[in-house]
Amino acid sequence: MTIVNTQSFLGYENPPVVEVVCGILFQDLQLLLTPHIGLLWQKFKHEYPECEELPPLAPAIEFFDESPDINVVFSEIPPTPRIWFIETNGNKV
């Protein structure tokens, strides 16, 4: 396996952006429980027969006009896991 330093190989002073990620954080759905997600999967299971459970994402909120602040939220309701419904060949989530 050969590792190439693309900075020197391509000679970019300001390399182009290859990937951009954008996320939106919504308020928790307090009434959505894990069994509800199972009911939703029943509707899409014929198209997305595989299912994968992932841990919840920690909220990351940026405020550009204020000083950084860390908020810790405690709840009696456990966080709802992220569930991916996956197509058989793994190409669609």
pTM for the whole thing?
0.56
Phi, psi values for residue 54, rounded to 5°? -125, 155
DSSP label at residue 51 = E
Report whether 85 contacts 92 (CB < 8 A): no
Ranges of each domain in the chain: 26-93
Amino acid at 8: S
Sign of the alpha-carbon torsion through 63, 22, 20, 73: positive
**CA torsion 85→59→74→52, rounded to 10°?**
20
Q: Per-residue confidence of the chain (93 residues) as pLDDT tens digits? A: 445 455 455 566 776 777 667 777 777 787 888 889 999 999 999 999 999 998 887 777 777 776 655 666 666 767 778 899 999 988 888
